Structure 1
Amino acid sequence: MNTLIKAGQILGRGLEQAACRIELKRVGGDGMFWQRQGGPLNTGLWCPKQDWKKLVLAMTDIPDPVNLSSELLPCVSAAMLEGEASWLLDAVEPMPSACGLLPEIYPVLTLTHAEVGDITCVLINWPQDQWQSIVTDWSPFAGSSANLSLSLVAGFALQTSSSPQLPAVGGGVWLDGDIRLERGEALLWCNGPLARVTLAQGEQGGKFSLMIDEIMVDMDLLHTPVIAEIARVTLPISHLGAMMMGDKLQAEVSLNAEVRLCYQDEEENILLGTASLLRSGDDLLAQVEILA
């Protein structure tokens, strides 16, 4: 998720140059995959099946790409990437292979061909520094922004090993973060704190706003901490990439029925147990109620 947020800082809602646009979108399904030359496996370019089919038809008059001879594959690939995406021609293998893509959020190029229309090309595990310089001078356009679901936490407990540990039921852990829940404060968390925020419910109910009180610097964490999650919040990636202290963001918030003690393993929250929160002076204790 942090990679997507950093990409959002560059792309905003999207950038365009002539007949090419790039934005962050959720895509997936059956398609074709071009391996990046010199890159690790599963790093390259992907095109959905329906777009590949209409491209093959327009270029060769062959309605079913299965009937396309292997000798023509590099020619059709080159026709797809000509123009504003020509920088990709030398970066990928000329021969694609059929490949299914899990629906996730990726940097997506939309190439507009006069004879074909829009063709979608997805950058899979492509290092940001290798495409960022290409799009730096492109112009913004008012595209849509994919959403990310993040944690709102009351604090976190540092760990001394790679296997997060909790005390037995009835025991507790002191939480770092200096959060005052009674004032609506929380940490916006994605593999580490992104910002200190104040959560407020709108007058109409069901709508929440997040006031960005402080942008947090990256924490150098030796081991994954346990977090005390109180809610999930959904925000557009473009907002996350551009947020500054003092911003007030409208958000979709789902409050937890209980405080969830968990840790983040890549993109997933792993539940360890639930807790109640106790205040002792300036300190906050998470007392374990249930262990998962």
Structure 2
Amino acid sequence: MPTLTTHRALRASLAGFALLPALAVAAPAASAASPSPSPSASGKPAPATKAGTSFLTAINLAAGQDANVAASTGDYLYWAFGASEGQTPTIGLTVNLPPAADRHGPQTWSVEVFDGLRRRQSCTAGTQNATGEAAAPALSLSCTMREVRSWAEPWSGDPLPGTYYVRLALSDAPQPDLGLAASVQLHVGVKGDADNAQPEGGELKAPLVPPVGGGAANAAQAAAPAEAEDHWYSGWFSGWNSRWFWTVAGGALAALAGVAGYTLTRHPRGRRPARYGSVPPQAGAPQPGPYAGSGQP
């Protein structure tokens, strides 16, 4: 026979099952009330956390995107960004050097900018090479490029619209310091727009942007067979017997040339050039008879 304690436990279980739908409805509401933070909440792309080690592996930066990278002392770091006509890009870098207790001397870092054709671009302002002393915690680098032009002469190295590469490298440091941990902050600023583009009257056919995918695109192009060019002499060297024909013809011409050369250079038989004239007969010398040389008197 059920006791009073059993009835109380049964009532508590039924009450718990009744509260389950209410808890299920309240859970989504609670989660919606506390949204997770988003890196693009301010409208600015999140900083890039990687850097390439060559032109082909350079990390592309979007407009307004910075970079905050952990690096190793001595490595080459590459980033890529786009610039259009009329703009003047400015690159700013801050290198946080390894702890002073781990360093053995000053370190010199340098920044360079290249266009899409791997041509080095000059800087009109800024510090491209900076040296941090043994106790310095960080150093700053900067480069203000020339204004991007809408067109340029083929022989000139003027900056044109397209992709630009930033290369950060360690120029000089003690050998034991290579490999120490460091960090880099990169900021690319752009001022101006297409209204400032000078000079007028020119237009670039295509921006200097490398193909997307680099290696994959080049591999696909290499796999495609190239079409043979047709010239006026192409028929002479085509066909299954063209090799044998030209081999036999070349051998015959070589033989004729050898015979002609031998004929022109050899001396005629029975004729000897008379350099000193004929020798007169000597007096008292026996004259050869009709049987000379035959052994008969």
TM-score, reference length from structure 2: 0.19
TM-score, reference length from structure 1: 0.19
> Whose radius of gyration is greater, 1 or 2?
2
